[in-house]
Amino acid sequence: MEGLKEQLRKESKKAKLDFNELKSGGFIKQTQKDLFTVRLRCPGGKVNAEQMRKAGEIADKFGRGEIHISVRQSIEVPYVSYKDFDAVAESLREIGWAVSSCGPRLRVPTACAGCTYNPNGLTDTQGICAEVDKRYFGIETRHHKFKTSFSGCPIDCFRTREMDLGFQGVLEPKLIEDECNGCELCVKACDEGALKMDGELPVRDWDKCIHCGDCVKVCPVDAMVSNRIGWLARVGGKHGKHPYFSYEIANFLTDDQVYVLIEKTMSWYQENAVGRERIGAAIERLGLERYMNDVVDPLGLEAIRDQKDRRKYYAKGNFYDK
């Protein structure tokens, strides 16, 4: 790795390359000599038509006319020679675009379509994803990569359970008893079996409710309504060789609370992790309580509790009580 950097440094002088272009890590070494994959910055997987054309233009001019879509929603152009880095960067600058990152940084956030056009969506995943990208993209972690993602509802297509920090839309339903006609459609709509009829009215087992909002979306007379919408926060997940499921640490965060949690969690990770461990490993080593005490509790975020008022975390596929 060092050898490669050294070679690049020398070559970049020869080719008059701006080494800063390489620092962000948007150029990824391929198995083939001198060839790199250029990873373009596409927060939430959203690009406009002009960017699509630009990606095609770069692939035609500097690559082999091929595009690869990464699992993190980035458009990548493979087979680009390091000698063309400057030209590629310049070509991207023409439309105000840039390469993405790899390495020990806060990566480009991913997100689904969310409430803007997905029928299940509860939250504006694309909006918050763009903002998080603007504020925090590329921040150095001093340890390892740091991935964030946003899902618009509990179906969780964007796998927030496998992120260093993940946020998923949640809706708190509420019944207006006087409006309800007892049609039972909400009971049928609830996949979790959280609703049952008690006489003429549906009653909810809050321990089973996952805040998906399906009961609200189906109710024909608007008797089941949304009391509030927010974000469920998860920390410490990852995939890779040894995947981890994250801990659910707080519920019904506002957008602003999401930003603060990202900032505080990044600082905690920078200060408390050792070597190249991911935040999940640091939490495992130091104990979840430590992270909760240091980061979550001082922010006054809403803890997830069961009906006996015990704090509850979802981790590694099992619920357990604390």
Partner 1 sequence: MTNKGETVSPDDKLDLSGVLCPINFVKTKLKLEEMEVGQVLEVILDDGEPMKNVPRSVKAEGHKIIGVEKLTDETYKILIRKETD
Q: Which residues here bind partner 1, judged by CB under 8 A?
A: 119, 181-185, 188-189, 191, 214, 217-220
Q: Are 28 and 78 in contact (CB under 8 A)?
A: no
Strand partners for 234:
166, 248
Q: Are 165 and 231 in contact (CB under 8 A)?
A: no
Question: Over the range 249-271, which residues count as b (16 or more CB within 10 Å of their CB) and which as e?
Answer: bbbbbeeebbbebbeebbebbee
| Amino acid symbol at 317 | G
Query: Please, what is the minimum distance in Å from the beta carbon of residue 253 to ligand SF4?
Result: 17
Query: Please, what is the minimum distance in Å from the beta carbon of residue 223 to partner 1?
Result: 12
C-alpha pair distances (Å), 154 with each of 7, 315, 321: 47, 15, 21
C-alpha pair distances (Å), 41 with each of 89, 215, 259, 277, 283: 12, 37, 20, 25, 29
Identify what 188 binds: ligand SF4, partner 1, none; CB under 5 to 8 Å per kind.
partner 1
The closest alpha carbon to 246, from 283, 271, 287, belongs to: 283
> What is d(CA 59, CA 224) in angstroms, rounded to the nearest whole number?
51
> What is d(CA 70, CA 45) in angstroms, rounded to the nearest whole number?
10
Q: Is 214 one of the binding residues for ligand SF4 (CB under 6 A)?
A: yes
> What is d(CA 171, CA 155) in angstroms, rounded to the nearest whole number?
13
Point out the residue whose Cβ comes nearest to ligand SF4: 152
Structure tokens at 234: 């998860």
What x/- string results for residues 57 through 96 when contact with ligand SF4 is judged by CB under 6 A? ----------------------------------------
Q: Which residues inside 141-180 make contact with ligand SF4, applying CB under 6 A?
A: 151-153, 155-157, 173, 175, 180
What x/- string results for residues 93 through 132 when contact with ligand SF4 is judged by CB under 6 A? -------------------xxx---x-xx-----------
Cβ nearer to partner 1, comparing 76 with 214: 214
Cβ nearer to partner 1, comparing 191 with 289: 191
Structure tokens at 142: 């001093």
| Amino acid symbol at 212 | C
Out of 47, 77, 108, 224, the residue judged to bind ligand SF4 by CB under 6 A: 224
Query: Please, what is the minimum distance in Å from the beta carbon of residue 221 to ligand SF4?
Result: 5
Query: Please, what is the minimum distance in Å from the beta carbon of residue 45 to ligand SF4?
Result: 11
Structure tokens at 293: 């005490």
Query: Please, what is the minimum distance in Å from the beta carbon of residue 208 to ligand SF4?
Result: 7
Instruction: Give the angle 163-5-87 at the CA atoms, nearest 5°.
Output: 85
Q: Is 288 one of the binding residues for ligand SF4 (CB under 6 A)?
A: no
Q: Is 226 one of the binding residues for ligand SF4 (CB under 6 A)?
A: no
Identify what 217 binds: ligand SF4, partner 1, none; CB under 5 to 8 Å per kind.
partner 1
Only segment of 98-106, 206-214, 244-252, 296-304 that touches ligand SF4 (CB under 6 A): 206-214
Query: Please, what is the minimum distance in Å from the beta carbon of residue 110 to ligand SF4?
Result: 11
> What is d(CA 289, CA 295) in angstroms, rounded to the nearest whole number?
10
Q: Which residue has the tokens 């998906």?
A: 212
Query: Please, what is the minimum distance in Å from the beta carbon of residue 190 to partner 1?
Result: 9
Cβ nearer to partner 1, comparing 215 with 301: 215
Q: Which residues bind ligand SF4 (CB under 6 A)?
A: 112-114, 118, 120-121, 151-153, 155-157, 173, 175, 180-186, 189-190, 192, 194-195, 202, 204, 209-215, 218-219, 221, 223-224
